[in-house]
Amino acid sequence: MQKVKPVLSTKEIGPLRFYVGIIIGLGYGILTHLWFRLSDKAILVLSDIRNRNSILVTDLTFSLYNSLLITLTCAALGFCFTMFYWTSKPLHSNRKRTLKMRVANTNSIFQGMLILFVFTKFLTFDTSLRYDGYGVDLKGNYGYLPFALPLFIFLFNWLTISRVYKSGKILFFSALCVILYGILLTVIQT
């Protein structure tokens, strides 16, 4: 007898856990977005102070490329925290499902922290060397390859969730929501 995975729904996750998870994801997306933008501007100002250059407001603006990369990554990281909260139910009906949920929970938070570490290194590398005249920037050297980072975050979270739940149309709906949320974060300026 083959066991069928349950369908991912608000009833299966729990209505309170479902909606609180979405709010947590939106909040973490905004917080990481502000953190990345403010850290980039702080590094730029400190570089100007160290080199005794005048601080220009035009240097504190982001290109569309950097802005979109930051916001899509932050939206995907917010989705990562949503998945972490959705899978944090401690006990389920059987032991095997509980184990799969714990693995999905651990994978989502580990991946989120690892990506935060890597992206923070990309951000400081990109800012300081771009400004000091070394000629290193993500778009020039890597093209659109860094945009695979938010795609990886999103698909890796769905990979771990699809081991526990059946997810069909909700995958495409959540992809659309994450992209729209990323574009909405682009409008937020610090």
CA distance 57 to 85: 39
Mind listing the pLDDT tens digit for each residue in 45-73? Answer: 776 777 676 666 666 666 777 788 888 88
> Residue 128 pLDDT > 50, yes or no?
no
**What's the pLDDT at 133?**
55
Mind listing the pLDDT tens digit for each residue in 70-109? Answer: 888 888 888 888 888 888 876 667 777 778 888 888 888 8
**What's the pLDDT at 19?**
92
For the chain, the domains span 10-187
**What's the pLDDT at 159?**
84
Burial class (CB in 10 A: 0-12, 13-18, 19+), 48: middle
108: left (phi over 0), alpha (psi -120 to 50) or beta: alpha
- Tally of CA atoms within 13 A in the half-sphere of 114 that contains its CB: 11
